[in-house]
Amino acid sequence: GPWRVAGGTITDTPRYAHRGAMLDVSRHFFTVAQVKRYIDELAMYKVNRLHLHLSDDQGWRIALKSWPRLATYGGSTQVGGGPGGYYTKDDYRAIVRYAADRYLTVVPEIDMPGHTNAALASYAELNCNGQAPPLYTGTSVGFSSLCVPKKVTYDFIDDVIREIAALTPGRYLHIGGDEAHSTSHDDYVAFMDKVQPVVAKYGKTVIGWHQLTGAHPAKGAVAQYWGYDKTGAAERAQVADAARNGTRLILSPADRAYLDMKYDKNTPLGLSWAGYVDVRRSYDWDPGSYLQGAPADSVLGVEAPLWTETLKTSANLEYMAFPRLPGIAELGWSPAGTHDWGTYRERLAAQGPRWDALGIDYYHSPEVPWPAR
């Protein structure tokens, strides 16, 4: 240089307000440093929400003063029986600050009433029979449930939401709600009717997985859709009906946006219950028209979840997130009319040398014309 360019104005605004990525720190625990590394990678692609999945059957990952054994006991293991771990309040604040400095807002999730074995193991009184189950290190789902009729359940939830809301400057708090197979439908509805006002009491807006639409979503609530192309018509219609009645949607279709799905049958990491998700499939869909019957303006945005049943290291996370994550980020930012796989794959290929320089262990998809190394 110096180089001269003509003066001008760049006008660029995102298609969607919510451009998110979820990191599951419950199945396998990831340290503050590892979470910060992932935040840096998300920020490169203008992702603006970090959804932290902080509790599940295998581990509770945030220390709370009111119920200390959640972390010290409930956080003491993970899938496969490793040491687990948890974030202190200062750790969590550090993650929130680090994310905010990079224009990401943290959305904490405490999954309920299912996916709760770590909590049930920590406090016997949360179980209907008063007996704490053992800690769990497997990967099956749907077997656990908070005791819906017990008053102590709602004392517990009030304390948890109060403490986490106080630590979280963002407007949203995620209450899970998926795969509650051990909770009857009537109990599920009653539970959600009691819990959603608690979130509002502490100044937050509810996000729940799309099963929330089978109950009574609170005014202003957001449903996160994780079904897929083959999801039954009745379930999809239920979500679309809620959207027509004012519930906003975050779209995370499992066979498009789940970053833990295998790329193909040879992928050494990840799962395949929603099918194989190659790079083109993760990019080549339109959030605005994806869910038939849902108004286009009901879509708050998109999110790419990364579940960690099989992922233990930052390199594992990166291998599954890249190169699919930038495609979800582009769906969230760019107008639908600009989406074109042919030109996108060329632009994506140009990111390869950048990732090489950053030490990102990405999957060299044969669908992408990567530069010679």
Exactly one of 125, 179, 235, 367 is catalytic; which is it? 179
- 3-state SS track over 135-148: CCCCCCCCCCCCCC
**Cis bond upstream, residue 305 (ω within 30):** no
Q: Is the dihedral of CA 268, 271, 273, 279 positive or negative?
A: negative
Q: Is the dihedral of CA 224, 270, 53, 359 positive or negative?
A: negative
CA 58 to CA 139: how far, in whole Å?
Answer: 8
Give 370's contacts (C-beta < 8 A, 6+ positions apart). 349, 352, 364
Select from 190, 266, 252, 260 the least CA-distant residue to 222: 252
Select from 30, 22, 101, 52 the least CA-distant residue to 321: 22
107, 49 Cβ separation under 8 angstroms: yes
125 labelled catalytic: no
CA 157 to CA 321: how far, in whole Å?
Answer: 32
Q: Parallel, antiparallel, or unpaired for β 55-56 and 59-60? A: antiparallel
Active site residues: 179
